[in-house]
Amino acid sequence: MVKKFTCSFCGCDIEPGSGMIYVKNDGSLLYLCSSKCRKNAVILRRRARKLKWTDVYEERVRRQKAAAKARSTKSSSRSRGSRSKT
């Protein structure tokens, strides 16, 4: 059985026989599905959560929307400025 990997950058499934594994100097592995992901992750050093076409970004937006929905459904009794600086 061929092991399936997910792209470390965009989060999509990598088909067996395609994609590449990038080994960083510290020994950690990056599973990359395409040259687009390789260029954005390695050469351009972009953050996946800031790019709209990645799964990480979509997941973050979905989580923020859910949090905003939960916040709006709850009663607004909690004051926002309660956190004090030390």
Which residues contribute to the site for Zn ion (CB under 5 A)? 7, 9-10, 33, 37
Dihedral angle sign, alpha carbons of residues 53, 12, 22, 19: negative
Q: How near is the Cβ of 73 to Zn ion at its closest, in Å?
A: 35
Q: How near is the Cβ of 75 to Zn ion at its closest, in Å?
A: 42
CA distance 82 to 86: 12
Phi and psi at residue 53, to the nearest 5°: -90, 0
Of the two residues 35 and 64, which places its CB atom closer to Zn ion in the complex? 35
Q: How near is the Cβ of 9 to Zn ion at its closest, in Å?
A: 5
